[in-house]
Copies of this chain bind each other. A is one copy, B any other.
């Protein structure tokens, strides 16, 4: 697995795992329909308790990223269709207002900032029809 967990981080472990799985999907490292390790396997790989992984998988399921089969475990939702809801957009805009404000004051130029966005998007496979 490709996960790198920072145990000393303020960000909860389960959140880091969630983030990296979603990032893995965006980058195409995790294909739709691909199996994820079992809760106990992944927990053992990372060296954490399986309940923590369980929490991750359950939240990912709630939000539609993965499906949990009765027996075969967890896989990336083959019919992934997470939505650009107004709530999501609102939260994102709010976040960006905060982030850009501090970045600006710390001397990050608009060009630098946009370059990062460009770089990230460059790593994501194009959508159908684009």
Chain A residues near B (Cβ < 8 Å): 7-8, 12-13, 19, 22-23, 25-27, 62, 67-70, 80, 82-84, 88-89, 92-93, 95-108, 110, 113-114, 116-118, 120-121, 124
B120 and A100 contacting across the interface, CB-CB below 8 Å:
yes
- State how many copies of this chain the complex holds: 4
Closest 4 CB pairs of A and B: A26-B101, A100-B120, A110-B121, A23-B101
A70 and B117 contacting across the interface, CB-CB below 8 Å:
no
A23 and B106 contacting across the interface, CB-CB below 8 Å:
no
Contacts A69-B7, A106-B83 given; indicate if A100 touches B88 (C-beta within 8 A): no
Contacts A22-B101, A102-B22 given; indicate if A108 touches B120 (C-beta within 8 A): no
Give chain B residues whose Cβ lies under 8 Å from the Cβ of A69. Answer: 7-8
